[in-house]
Amino acid sequence: MATIDVTHNSSGHRFEAVVDGLLCRADYDLVDGVMRMTHTGVPSELGGRGIAAALVEAALAHARANGLKVEPWCSYVRVYMQRHPEAQPLLPEGFQL
């Protein structure tokens, strides 16, 4: 499987990758040191390639590196964090998955 090149578009408040010419994205809002992950979008024809996971992993790595907490408002991000306990310390205190 090819490596997915994820970039942080800070002005667009999203992490993104262009795969086969199509834009894939994980959107967020930054509020008081909390990255609220609001939407993850991968075109259906690209499904099953691990692209959404790569986007979320990049967002979580960014949060860790910058001392941010993460609120998974997006259902995909919520399930990802439930399945990856190592991501759960990024949750704000009291936030329930």
Task: Report pLDDT for 1.
Answer: 56
Task: Report pLDDT for 3.
Answer: 85
pTM: 0.95
Question: What is the rounded average pLDDT for all residues in the chain?
Answer: 96
pLDDT (tens digit, 9 = 90+) per residue, 42-74? Answer: 999 999 999 999 999 999 999 999 999 999 999
Three-state SS letters, the chain:
CCCCCCEEECCCCEEEEEECCEEEEEEEEEECCEEEEEEEECCHHHCCCCHHHHHHHHHHHHHHHCCCEEEECCHHHHHHHHHCHHHHHHCCCCCCC
